[in-house]
Amino acid sequence: MKHATSLLLSILAIIDLALGNGISVSGKVHGKPTPAVQVNSASGTTIGSVYWMTNEDSGNCILAADVGSDGQVNLREAYATGGMGSVAVSNVTNMLVAVNPGSGTVSLFSINPSDPSNLTLIGDPAGSGGQWPTSVTFNKAGDIVCALNGGEVNGVSCFSVHQTSGLTPLADTTRYLGINQTTPAAGPTNTVSQILFSSDSSKLLVAYSGTTPTAPGYLGYYDIGVNGSLSKNFSAIAPPSGGGLPFSITPVPGQEAYVVADPALGFEVFDLTGANRSSAVAISGQGATCWSTYSPSTGSYLLIDAQGRIFEIAIDAATLQSTIIGNYTQFLGDGLIDSDVMSVNGTDYMYTLAAGINSLEVFALPAPGRLQSVQQFNVSTAVESVGITVSSSMQGMVAYAKQ
């Protein structure tokens, strides 16, 4: 038990390094959320954009980068939000949403579908329905947004999305989880980490990291009614045997199942059908696998370790049994965190924040088990000339394909 406790403390120190360090942002980005500053001009032929946050509660920015036909990025614009947190996009309604824990708000932006690094704030930021919002998600139709609050008043709240007026609280959707927390939320244990609509938008999923491997968290959900309301009761599913601290959620396409990164172990597969296909999988050598994403073209799941490792996983669609098909360790010390995948001319690319070195890493995924590093974009250098300073940590990563 002493060994397990020591290992957990080491894991938490790594996660705190990746998530807890502040960002210093100066220049034109403070105050009411508005387009702050153009970093570069458009980069010629673009196929989409990626967005992430500088993670500063006194002057946080959404950074928007063009993605070229070779999958590489060019940082384009910085937009103030007024807090730190996560971002999500809807390719259906062409919207981006960000949560701002420092101010307890949710901000909505429209995306210009022909120039997706061009964002426009829609309406005023809305109260998150709790304290210290930490994650946000769109439903499949892109007309509902739900935020996850992680402070003293923790739980979920949802909003209808209007193209011109912005966010309006949705009736009968504020639900409290009753976790014993503070504001700001202290973690990463005993915290809620991610919220996500199921693929068919029939459930609203929440990942909760427990306190220790012997007091694990859960993957839980609310059922969603036809009017968008949430069920009164919350279904909390304990990790499969051996699981510890559920952190991120990635759907298994075509299945009512989810890959969940677990920094105390490796990952879990949660099967919500009751077919007894769930499993907890230990990854030898992992230090803090907190983040996960999926590559449609390769069928692989990518698990991101805060120490700088990437693990590529294949999952059998019938049995949900998993196999590790890639272990990439050449990024040790880079502090890899949030990631997303986008297809560029038939090849998937993964965009990953490297908080430890203030860069955006671009990886090509030409085939299963063949992840390749194609770009290391220095964010600090890119924004220095326009008066924005980025130091120690960034957060959130989401991709949007040009319409």
Q: pLDDT tens for residues 258-316?
A: 999 999 899 999 999 989 899 999 999 898 899 999 999 999 999 999 889 999 999 99
Per-residue pLDDT of the chain (403 residues; tens, 9 = 90+): 344 444 444 444 445 544 443 322 223 333 333 445 677 767 678 999 999 988 765 567 899 999 999 999 999 998 887 555 689 999 999 999 999 888 899 999 999 999 999 999 999 999 999 999 999 999 999 999 999 999 999 999 999 999 999 999 999 999 999 999 999 888 788 999 999 999 999 999 999 998 877 788 999 999 999 999 999 999 999 999 888 899 999 999 999 999 999 998 999 999 999 898 999 999 998 988 999 999 999 999 999 998 899 999 999 999 999 999 999 988 888 889 999 999 999 999 999 999 888 899 999 999 999 999 999 999 988 888 777 767 666 889 999 999 7
Give CA–CA dist 134/154, Å, rounded: 10
Query: Are the beta carbons of 212 and 222 closer than 8 angstroms?
Result: no
CB 388 within 8 A of CB 381: no
pTM: 0.91
Give the model confidence (pLDDT) of 109-119 as tens digits: 999 999 999 99
**198-227 confidence digits (pLDDT tens):** 999 999 999 999 887 778 899 999 999 999
CA distance 79 to 63: 6
Quick one: how far is CA 397 from the chain centroid?
Answer: 6
pLDDT for the residue numbered 86: 86
Q: Which domains does the chain have, with CATH numbers?
A: 2-401 (2.130.10.10)
- Distance, in Å, from the CA atom of 156 to the CA atom of 221, rounded to the nearest integer, reads 11
186: which residues sit within 8 A by CB, 6+ positions away?
Answer: none
For the chain, the three-class secondary structure string (H helix, E strand, C coil) is CHHHHHHHHHHHHHHHHHHCCCCCCCCCCCCCCCEEEECCCCCCCEEEEEEEECCCCCCCEEEEEEEECCCCEEEEEEEECCCCCCEEEECCCCEEEEEECCCCEEEEEEECCCCCCCEEECCCCEECCCCCEEEEEECCCCCEEEEEECCCCCEEEEEEEECCCEEEECCCCCEECCCCCCCCCCCCCCEEEEEEECCCCCEEEEEEECCECCECCEEEEEEECCCCCECCCCEEECCCCCCCCCCEEEECCCCCEEEEEECCCEEEEEECCCCCCCEEEECCCCCCEEEEEEECCCCEEEEEECCCCEEEEEECCCCCCEEEEEEECCCCCCCEEEEEEEEECCEEEEEEEEHHHCEEEEEEECCCCCCEEEEEEEHHHHHHCCCCCCCCCCEEEEEEECC
3-state secondary structure of 272: coil
